[in-house]
Every structure is written in C-alpha cells, then in structure tokens.
C-alpha cells in the first residue's frame, strides 16, 4: 500500500511538470521540465512492475 501511495505521488509530480513546462520562458528549461515529467511518469509505472517481479529474467 505504501508503494502505491509513493508511486501515485511520483506520477502526480510528473503530471504537474507538463503545464509548468509550457509556461517557462526559457526553451531549454522547458525541455528539461517536460523531460522530467516523462521520466517521473515512466518511473511511477516501472517501480511497481519491478517490485512485483513481472520483469523478464
């Protein structure tokens, strides 16, 4: 249950990065923030997938 809450928080942080990226004036910072959102969302799905053991071995 604690893992699910942690992954939900990471996913929510990733979602928050997208609108912030479009409000940035600096193009490089916008790209970095958008990439951080993608990375956080991928991480939110990757962590439980690895913990439950559904990865190919």
DSSP readout, 1-20?
Answer: -HHHHHHHHHHHHHHHHHHH
- pLDDT score recorded for residue 3: 84
Answer positive or negative: Cα dihedral of 31, 34, 36, 39: negative
Residue-wise pLDDT tens for the chain (57 aa)? 788 898 999 999 999 999 999 998 999 999 999 999 999 999 998 888 888 776 565
Q: How far apart are CA 30 and CA 36, in angstroms?
A: 10
Say what the pTM is. 0.78
Domain ranges of the chain: 2-51
pLDDT at 55: 58
């Amino acid at each position: 249950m604690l893992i699910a809450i942690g992954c939900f928080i990471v996913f929510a942080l990733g979602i928050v990065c997208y609108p912030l990226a479009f409000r940035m004036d600096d193009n490089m910072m916008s790209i970095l923030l958008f990439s951080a959102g993608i990375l956080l969302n991928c991480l939110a799905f990757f962590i439980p997938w690895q913990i439950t053991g559904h990865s190919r071995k």
